[in-house]
């Protein structure tokens, strides 16, 4: 009788465990997302990937025949988060300071109020330089300049100061691309090599690169290529306060600085349509904040390329990569996909 009782107890325990497993699985139910993807297959096209990761596990994966999860594609303005992190590696090493005027490294900027532009202004999109908003979409991952030296010289001699540095937010390629040249001067290495040595290799991002195949200058703002899986390595490092696989790639202070909303109430001269209402940090957007004004959901997105985000409350990361340019209809569909992911993750 005792043996039968123990047997029944074990059976009940197994059934209970199985029910708990099902309950947990229901908390990560992506059936609605699958329905959205299936019903919008034509609008989504054949070149996109989606990956959602939580607790070190991939909890949702989707890829198409023409764009696999391990295949690199242009990630557009999701590149900015990477470039901002690269700048912070120099700040961690005290080779650069947020308060440094860029004219310290680029003497051409000493004229016409441009001498007041600092590294921090470049990182927070508050340089005051006239930004060609229409060029943001046209540039995508390409760069019309032969090198960053030529590009920075153009900003120094041709771009007007339309706001005092720090007085207004204007999203553009200008700030991070200037810092790309500053880092080249400090290190005497090319920007794409610096990104490989300081970010991509330590994070095992084997598919990532800023190399511009047309031979022109790399574009720190929107010029990276990367696979969905590799980009999640970067976000994992950010979520872990700079730590990845036991190695401190960025200091915790550097990550906190990257995720801080430095100018919450600044006048906005230009921001992309799909970021209105968000607060800019350094290379990423804070989409929502807590009662203390600190960011909760951080994303790196713009008019082109990938859409990636990290939810610090639910502690998950997600990336939607597409080789196709975005448009208003596509943005609406991507937002629908995002909402479904957010509702599915507990």
Q: Using only the alpha carbons of the chain, give its radius of gyration.
A: 22
Helix, coil or strand: residue 147: coil
pLDDT for residue 158: 92
Q: Cβ distance 75 to 305 under 8 Å?
A: yes
Q: Cβ distance 229 to 322 under 8 Å?
A: no
pLDDT for residue 325: 54
Would you give per-residue pLDDT tens digits along the chain (346 residues)?
444 444 444 444 433 333 333 333 344 689 999 999 999 888 888 888 999 999 989 999 999 988 999 999 999 999 999 999 999 999 999 999 999 999 999 999 998 889 999 999 999 999 999 976 544 444 444 568 999 999 999 999 999 999 999 999 999 999 999 999 999 999 999 999 999 999 999 999 999 999 988 889 999 999 999 999 999 999 999 999 999 999 999 999 999 999 999 999 999 999 988 888 999 999 999 999 999 999 999 999 866 678 999 999 999 999 999 866 556 677 788 889 999 999 999 8
Neighbours of 191 (CB within 10 A): 27
Neighbours of 272 (CB within 10 A): 19
- Structure tokens, 20: 């708990």
The single-letter DSSP state of residue 106 is -
Domain 29-344: which CATH number of 3.40.50.2300, 3.30.70.2740, 3.40.710.10, 1.10.357.10: 3.40.710.10
Helix, coil or strand: residue 296: strand
- Domain positions in the chain are 29-344
> Backbone phi, then psi, for 239, in 5-degree steps?
-65, -30
Among residues 182, 181, 209, 215, which one has the least CA distance to residue 197? 209
The single-letter DSSP state of residue 109 is G
> Backbone phi, then psi, for 304, in 5-degree steps?
-135, 160
Q: Cβ distance 159 to 174 under 8 Å?
A: yes
Among residues 287, 278, 199, 198, which one has the least CA distance to residue 235? 199
Q: What is the DSSP string of 150-212?
A: HHHHHHHHTPPB-S-TTSEEE-SSHHHHHHHHHHHHHHTS-HHHHHIIIIITTTT-TT-B---
> Backbone phi, then psi, for 58, in 5-degree steps?
-80, 115
pLDDT for residue 4: 47
| Displacement of CA 92 from its chain's centroid (Å) | 20
In angstroms, rounded to a whole number, what is the distance separating the alpha carbons of residues 112 and 161?
A: 8
Among residues 226, 175, 189, which one has the least CA distance to residue 95? 189
pLDDT for residue 50: 95
């Amino acid at each position: 009788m005792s043996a039968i009782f123990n047997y029944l107890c074990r059976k009940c325990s197994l059934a209970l465990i199985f029910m708990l497993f099902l309950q947990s699985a229901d908390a990560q139910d992506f059936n609605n997302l699958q329905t959205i993807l299936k019903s919008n297959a034509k609008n989504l096209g054949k070149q996109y990937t989606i990956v959602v990761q939580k607790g070190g596990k991939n909890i949702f994966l989707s890829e198409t025949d023409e764009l696999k999860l391990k295949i690199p594609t242009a990630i557009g303005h999701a590149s900015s988060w990477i470039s901002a992190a690269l700048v912070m590696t120099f700040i961690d090493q005290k080779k650069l300071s947020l308060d440094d005027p860029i004219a310290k490294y680029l003497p051409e900027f000493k004229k016409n109020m441009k001498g007041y532009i600092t590294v921090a202004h470049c990182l927070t999109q508050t340089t005051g330089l006239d930004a060609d908003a229409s060029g943001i979409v046209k540039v995508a991952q390409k760069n019309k300049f032969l090198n960053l030296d030529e590009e920075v010289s153009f900003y120094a001699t041709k771009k007007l100061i339309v706001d005092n540095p720090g007085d207004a937010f204007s999203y553009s390629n200008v700030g991070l691309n200037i810092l790309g040249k500053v880092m080249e001067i400090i290190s005497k290495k090319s920007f794409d090599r610096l990104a490989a040595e300081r970010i991509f290799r330590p994070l095992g991002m084997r598919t990532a690169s800023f190399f511009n195949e047309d031979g022109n200058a790399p574009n720190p703002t929107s010029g990276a290529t990367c696979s969905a899986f590799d980009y999640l390595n970067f976000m994992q490092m950010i979520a872990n306060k700079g730590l990845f696989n036991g190695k401190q790639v960025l200091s915790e202070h550097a990550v906190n600085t990257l995720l801080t909303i430095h100018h919450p109430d600044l006048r906005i001269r230009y921001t992309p349509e799909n970021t209105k209402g968000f607060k800019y940090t350094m290379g990423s957007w804070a989409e929502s904040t807590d009662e203390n004004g600190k960011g909760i959901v951080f994303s790196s997105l713009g008019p082109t390329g990938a859409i990636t985000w990290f939810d610090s409350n639910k502690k998950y990361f997600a990336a939607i990569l597409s080789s196709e340019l975005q448009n208003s209809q596509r943005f609406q569909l991507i937002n629908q996909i995002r909402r479904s992911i957010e509702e599915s993750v507990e």
